[in-house]
Amino acid sequence: MIKRFFSHHPLMFWGGVIITLLVLCALTAQWIAPYDPIRQNLTQNLLPPSIHHWMGTDQYGRDVLSRLIYGSRVSLSVGLVAVSIYILIGTTVGSVAGYYGGWVDGALMRLVDILLCIPTFFLILMVIAFVGPSIINIMVIIGVTSWTDVARLVRGEVLALKEREFIQAARVIGMKDSRIILRHLLPNALGPVLVVATLGIGGAILVESSLSFLGLGVQPPTPSWGNMLEEGKDHLTDAWWLITFPGMAIFLTVLGYNLLGEGLRDLLDPRLRGSGRQ
């Protein structure tokens, strides 16, 4: 049964394989990393990949593979926490706006329009300039600045659902608005939100990597894929492995989440199921 399911949804299979490997690396980093990721050994700096250092060493003699494995923890943490925050904010704003309509909808959607006029990445840069770079700040800032698309998506779903017969019946029997939203509207609107959340994790990882590359994200010596790229940019010609392996890790991780999100979309969208899309 499982084999048949994944044969009809190959995107979910390959995306799931990549993400599963990433999660396993993050959870078992302290056991599978061959070296201490922050321990320096200047006598072995810039060694190319070999049997002792599968991905070589950096300018401080630190093992690149070990830093890559520990960096997966940062990427997963930022992606999951940031997306959880903006899904919570977005679903709350979108469901309230869609359900109550009127001036409530107008006020909330004007707020969304204002935020959409500001490029999200530059807004994040501006906020970090005030509060300072740290992994906690990055998680929170990405979360509180990226919820607008989710709010508009949930609002549209709620607008389509709130006139359905089962919602009208819930109103007739006197069910509270909060109960209607939580028990009937949101569960029926979470399919598209789940797809957006899966795709959003990859986006959050890209944002964190970009911030770390600019020196505004996770600070050394804590390894993250972004600051590994930043440290390796000065050795493009004499140490290709310093940017190749972190770049491949970012690419494969974002690809995995995108494949998983596309597979979920195909699975949850009845129109795509009906068309036989795989």
Each residue of 5-59: pLDDT tens digit?
566 667 788 888 999 999 999 999 999 999 999 999 989 999 999 999 999 999 9
- pLDDT for res 7: 66
**CA distances (Å), origin 135, targets 150, 153, 194, 215:** 23, 28, 24, 12
How is domain 77-269 classified at the architecture level of CATH? Orthogonal Bundle (1.10)
Instruction: Kindly tell me if the per-residue pLDDT of 269 is higher than 80.
Output: no
What pLDDT, on the 0 to 100 scale, is given for residue 101?
86
Dump pLDDT digits (tens) for 213-230. 988 888 888 899 999 999
| Per-residue confidence (pLDDT) for residue 49, from 0 to 100 | 94
Is the pLDDT score of 274 beyond 70? Answer: no
What single letter denotes the amino acid at residue 43? T
Q: Is the pLDDT of residue 271 over 80?
A: no
- Between CA 75 and CA 98 the distance in angstroms is 33
Question: Which residue's entry shows tokens 């909060």?
Answer: 178
Inform me whether the pLDDT recorded for 105 exceeds 80: yes
Mean pLDDT of 84-88: 93
* Residue with the larger pLDDT of the pair 9 and 164: 164
pLDDT of residue 270: 52
pLDDT exceeds 90 at position 237: no
91-101 average pLDDT score: 91
In degrees, rounded to 5, the angle at the alpha carbon of residue 15 between the alpha carbons of residues 51 and 124 is 90
Q: How far apart are CA 191 and CA 147, in angstroms?
A: 17
Strand pairing partners for 248?
A: none
